[in-house]
Amino acid sequence: MTSETSHTPGTAGTPAFTVLIPTYNERDNVPELLRRLVAALLPADRPQDAPVPRLLFVDDGSDDTAQLLIAAAEDCPLPITVLHRDVPEGGLGGAIVAGLRQVCDGGGDWAVVMDADLQHPPDLVPELVATGRRERADLVVASRYLEGGSRQGLADRYRLVVSGASTLLAKGVFPLELQGISDPMSGFFALRTAAVDPAELRPLGYKILLELAVRSRPRRVAEVPYHFGERFAGESKSSLREGLRFLRHLTGLRFSTPGGRALAFGLIGLSGVLPNLGLLHLLTQAHMHYLPAEVLANQAALAWNFALLEATVFRSRRHRHWASRTARFWALGNADLLLRIPLLALLVSGLGMGVLWATALTLVASFAVRFLIAERSIYVPHREAPRTPAAASAPLPVPDLATAE
């Protein structure tokens, strides 16, 4: 169940921008967070007729953080919306995507994502938005690695090492997608709402910036240095489990792009050459003719490739029934074989090439065709029904959050 309540003090129209803050048991940080946000977003020299920024909290916690926010909203000069999720699907990243859906439906032209623990300085929020507008960027990242930034909030050496290693790993896996982003692990950034489609995002865990950079492909990225501070209150949500989820997410993201899937498809296909050639060698050594031997060896390679592709590259695209996927894959593999056998015969009997070398050459030649058929016919992406304008703008029910279950 998801519930929403809002408080909008005397300000009509579209907000200047929305500050999106996911919370998970952050009750002790709420008063200080709101105080600093009000000071940063409503300075004394602000024009009276300027649009007022909006605060959107997406709460997944089990404590009374949501109730405290609702009570504080009565006296807060900033408009506050609280979205409480009883089922925290997708973890922290899922909370941010849930918030982005609302922001993109009318929360201003920019969204700033930040944590509630005050390790992200609220006084930097206006600068992130101003930098994005000034430089016409789609994404502005608050970076700990730029000159003038620091990671001082990562108090222990273990977290420093994990953070640095995660950054290097992410940039190594996505060198093009993360070009110009020095801190892909940052949870503090501003995003132009027109540059993102929340329906495209598939978050897993807390590294939502990496997800946005890879799937949304912002055209222009800017960065602003910042000091990552110490947590104001409460405990860090980082854990070994979150680290493992990050590795799973990194792997899934790499396979989410056509280029990444093609590379993995090729590597798995290349690995299938080993059982193919190994069985072919054994059968020809047992005096079987090379053509029927290749038919049998091909079945071993198909089983090998199918198992690996199902478990890795196309794990998230197994929408067809397993029997349909299996039948289509075997049909593709054996149809490919029917095309390769005449070529194999030509290379061996006509050109005098060795059986093993000729087989390897025909496998390479058929790679592109096999990948395209697998991508477009066997492992088709799941297509969600598009939201209608009415559904997109329809308000959620507003129950009494204090008694909602």
For the chain, domains (ranges, CATH) are 2-254 (3.90.550.10), 258-378 (no CATH)
Q: Taking all residues of the chain, what is their mean pLDDT, rounded to a whole number?
A: 79
Supply the angle between the helices 258-285 and 240-254 in degrees, to the nearest 10: 80
| Rounded average pLDDT over 18-41 | 93
pLDDT band at 390 (very low <50, low <70, confident <90, very high): very low
pLDDT band at 92 (very low <50, low <70, confident <90, very high): confident
Q: Does the structure show a pLDDT above 60 at 274? A: yes
Looking only at the bridges linking them, the beta strands covering 110-113 and 54-59 are: unpaired
- What is the C-alpha to C-alpha distance for residues 326 and 372, in angstroms, rounded to an integer? 17
Q: Does the structure show a pLDDT above 90 at 114? A: yes
CA dihedral 26, 27, 30, 33 (to 10 degrees): -40
Q: Does the structure show a pLDDT above 70 at 175? A: yes
Q: Does the structure show a pLDDT above 80 at 345? A: yes
| Rounded average pLDDT over 269-291 | 85
| Rounded average pLDDT over 220-236 | 75
pLDDT tens, position by position, 38-70: 999 999 888 888 889 999 999 998 888 999 999
| Residue that wins the pLDDT comparison between 216 and 392 | 216
Supply the angle between the helices 240-254 and 157-173 in degrees, to the nearest 10: 10
Q: Does the structure show a pLDDT above 60 at 280? A: yes
| Rounded average pLDDT over 383-392 | 38
| Residue that wins the pLDDT comparison between 267 and 98 | 98
* Exposure on the CB side of residue 143, measured as CA atoms within 13 A: 18
pLDDT band at 396 (very low <50, low <70, confident <90, very high): very low
Q: pTM value?
A: 0.65
DSSP per position, 298-319:
HHHHHHHHHHHHHHTTTGGG--
- Cβ count near 147 (within 10 Å): 6
Q: Does the structure show a pLDDT above 90 at 136? A: yes
> Exposure string (b/e) for 94-132, b if CB count within 10 Å is 16 or more?
bbbbbbbbbbbeebbbbbbbbbbbbbbbbebbbbbbebb
Q: In what order do the strands lie in the sheet with 80-85?
A: 2-7, 80-85, 54-59, 18-23, 110-113, 189-192, 139-143, 221-225
Alpha-carbon dihedral sign for residues 314, 183, 21, 230: positive
pLDDT band at 99 (very low <50, low <70, confident <90, very high): very high
Lowest mean pLDDT among 174-178, 224-228, 315-319: 315-319
Lowest mean pLDDT among 66-70, 212-216, 218-222, 359-363: 359-363
pLDDT tens, position by position, 238-253: 555 655 666 666 666 6
Q: Does the structure show a pLDDT above 90 at 258? A: no
